[in-house]
Amino acid sequence: MTTRINPSILAADFANLERELGRISTADLVHVDIMDNHFVPNLTFGLPMVQRLAQVSPIPLDVHLMIDDPDRWGPGYAEAGAHSVTFHAEAAGEPVALARRLRHIGARAGIALKPGTDATPYLDLLPEFDQVLVMTVEPGFGGQSFIPETMSKLARIADAVQDAGLDVWLQVDGGITADTIGIAAEAGANTFVAGSAVYNGDDPAQRIAELRDAAAAHPHSHR
Ligand code: DX5
Ligand code: ZN
């Protein structure tokens, strides 16, 4: 199984972002959390920031839009050079049309589900997406605790992806640490976002390696 570790710069030193990107160059993608103070009660970065990060980052950008009206704003992030753009199902007006636009621009298209959001309406739409993000905390803030009740949903989506013979990446985000990553890997995740677990401490590369090992030690077994 391919394991992807995507550190979230939400937990990085915002005064030194280029340096902080350099410290995670052994990771797969850098996770960039876009929050608008409406969809979630927190405010982070916008488009000009992503354009600049894309220019200096040693690894591709994995943009997570926690914003209202992603139909309007999402394509701009793909045009800015994000490798993947993931929008929330709860916020999108026409998720399939938006995903097609993102792919047309050249980005991978992702759909994110909050912990309380049912996956059922999206299982038939899986071919339209390159990635499904199962939120393992309520979106809005780093440093929260992993919600294990989200794992049954993740496992259902993993089964649906396998049944359909698709290569949709399954991402988890929130409370992922060396202790919880194995639970998510066993349930079928292959792409792991970690903010505080990577940046808290003085050796992010070491933390990335530990997360990779912990995920690999807990392979997914379908049904
Ligand atoms: C939360 C964000 C996460 C956050 C994760 O809304 O989507 O990406 O950075 O932070 P940790 O890993 O600290 O839970
Ligand atoms: Zn995120």
Confidence (pLDDT) at 24: 98
pLDDT at 204: 98
- Could you tell me if the CB of 10 is within 6 A of ligand 1? yes
Q: How far apart are CA 31 and CA 10, in angstroms?
A: 8
Annotation: binding site: 8, 31, 33, 64, 140-143, 173-175, 195-196
pLDDT mean over 92-99: 98
For residue 187, give the DSSP letter: H
Among positive and negative, which fits the CA dihedral 79, 84, 51, 138?
positive
Task: Return the best residue to mutate from 90, 135, 173 for the ligand 1 pocket (most ligand atoms within 8 A of CB).
Answer: 173
Q: How far is CA 1 from CA 64, 184, 188, in A?
A: 23, 14, 10
Q: Is 111 helix (H, G, I), strand (E, B) or coil?
A: strand
Q: State phi, psi for 63 to the nearest 5 degrees.
A: -90, 130
Cα–ligand 1 centroid distance for 8 (angstroms) = 7
Beta bridge partners of 132: 111, 170
Q: Is 145 left (phi over 0), alpha (psi -120 to 50) or beta?
A: beta
32 CA → ligand 2 middle, Å: 7
Distance, in Å, from the CA atom of 51 to the CA atom of 120, rounded to the nearest integer, reads 35
Structure tokens at 139: 């979106």
Domains and CATH numbers, the chain: 4-216 (3.20.20.70)
Q: How confident is the prediction for the chain on average, in pLDDT?
A: 97
Q: Which residues are annotated as a binding site for substrate?
A: 8, 64, 140-143, 173-175, 195-196
Q: Confirm or reject: Cβ of 36 under 6 Å from ligand 1.
A: no
Q: What pLDDT score was predicted for residue 85?
A: 99
**Residue type at 31?**
H
Which range has the worst mean pLDDT, 6-10, 138-142, 216-220? 216-220
Q: State if residue 153 touches ligand 1 by the CB under 6 angstroms criterion.
A: no
**What is the spatial distance between Cα 41 and Cα 201, in angstroms, rounded to a whole number?**
27
pLDDT at 148 over 80: yes
Q: How far is CA 164 from CA 21, 172, 182, in A?
A: 36, 21, 25
Q: Tell me, what's the pLDDT at 31?
A: 99
What's the pLDDT at 223? Answer: 67
Q: Return the pLDDT at 88.
A: 99
Q: Does residue 127 surpass a pLDDT of 80?
A: yes
Residue 52 has pLDDT above 90, yes or no: yes
Q: Is the pLDDT of residue 120 over 90?
A: yes
Task: Specify whether 203 is catalytic.
Answer: no
44 has a pLDDT exceeding 90: yes
Catalytic annotation present for 179: no
Q: 0.95 exceeded by the pTM? A: yes
Measured from the CA of 175, which atom of ligand 1 is nearest? 14
